[in-house]
């Protein structure tokens, strides 16, 4: 069912200028904005596609919409590749056929949310804890559409002052966290183990690992160099910077929806 408050939108395939659409007739909640962005992303989905199904509060709306369109017969022959156990459970409950990267090493389209988006469409993901599987699946995608509300747009990665997640093996995690802090020290970094288990125990990812959350005070500058330095540390599995991966970012705000495309976007 189409949303009654779904606003018009302006694409920006060839221009860095984003012109806001006609304002919606009501003040929308953050969850409603996420749903609008998710529905726009599902417009990219075609029958017969292999889809990467994202994780989190925004991506769940896209997964629900795909399930709805399948039930209505408007989509068919869809295969979903879930990025987490939680998404797998949601997709199965909606009747979306599922597979994995072993059977489908090339994915037509992935749809997922993000925790931060910078002016070059670099992302921070993983505050929900699924960064490794998300990066594997979305990295195998021909097209990766990111859906966010306007609060996720930042001037630089780490600009929200919220966590940059790093997945680490549990073995001697304190040692790994300290090495991470040393690598990131020049950016005012604080490293904290993510909690979330029973009785204040460590949060455990779907892969059986821990997450160290990095809180940054300064712009990291050369993100590629920082990425390489993090990944060279023994004990690090993956980090939450998704660099040069997003094809399109759909941003829902109170003035409507903007579509930002790779190499032609500006915050």
What are the two backbone dihedrals, phi and then psi, of residue 169, each rounded to the nearest 5 degrees? -75, 150
Catalytic residue among 134, 138, 167, 238: 134
User: In the sheet where 164-168 sits, what is the strand order?
Assistant: 190-193, 210-215, 164-168, 236-239
| Secondary structure letter of residue 85 according to DSSP | H
Residue 84 CB neighbours (<10 A): 23
Whether 32 is catalytic is no
Q: Please report which helix (H) or strand (E) contains residue 262, including its range.
A: none
Distance (Å, whole) CA 17 – CA 5: 24
Q: Which of 78, 84, 90 is nearest to 55 (CA)?
A: 84
Alpha-carbon distance of 10 to 82, in angstroms, equals 30
Burial (CB count <10 Å: 0-12, 13-18, 19+), residue 140 = middle
Residues 6+ apart with CB under 8 A from 103: none
- Burial zone of 76 (CB within 10 Å; 0-12 exposed, 13-18 middle, 19+ buried): exposed
Cβ proximity of 140 and 175 under 8 Å:
no
Residues designated as active site: 134
């Amino acid at each position: 069912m189409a949303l009654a408050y779904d606003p018009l939108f302006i694409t920006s395939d060839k221009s860095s200028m984003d012109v806001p659409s006609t304002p919606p007739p009501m003040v929308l909640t953050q969850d409603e904005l996420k749903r609008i962005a998710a529905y726009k992303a599902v417009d990219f989905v075609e029958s017969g596609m292999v889809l990467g199904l994202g994780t989190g509060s925004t991506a769940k709306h896209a997964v629900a919409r795909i399930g709805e369109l399948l039930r209505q017969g408007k989509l068919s022959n869809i295969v979903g590749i879930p990025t987490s156990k939680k998404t797998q459970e949601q997709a199965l409950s909606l009747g979306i056929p599922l597979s994995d990267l072993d059977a489908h090493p090339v994915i037509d389209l992935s749809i997922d949310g993000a925790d931060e988006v910078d002016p070059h469409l670099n992302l921070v993901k993983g505050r929900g804890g699924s960064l490794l599987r998300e990066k594997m699946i979305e990295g195998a995608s021909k097209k990766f559409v990111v859906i966010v509300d306007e609060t996720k747009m930042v001037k630089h990665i780490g600009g929200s002052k919220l966590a940059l997640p790093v997945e680490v093996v549990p073995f001697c995690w304190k040692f790994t966290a300290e090495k991470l802090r040393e690598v990131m020290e020049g950016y005012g970094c604080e490293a904290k183990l993510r909690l979330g288990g029973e009785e204040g125990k460590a949060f455990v990812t779907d892969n059986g690992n821990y997450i160290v959350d990095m809180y940054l005070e300064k712009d990291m500058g050369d993100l590629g160099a920082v990425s390489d330095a993090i990944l060279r540390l023994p004990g690090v599995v993956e980090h939450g910077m998704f660099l040069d991966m997003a094809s399109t970012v759909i941003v829902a705000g109170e003035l409507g929806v903007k579509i930002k495309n790779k190499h032609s976007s500006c915050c």
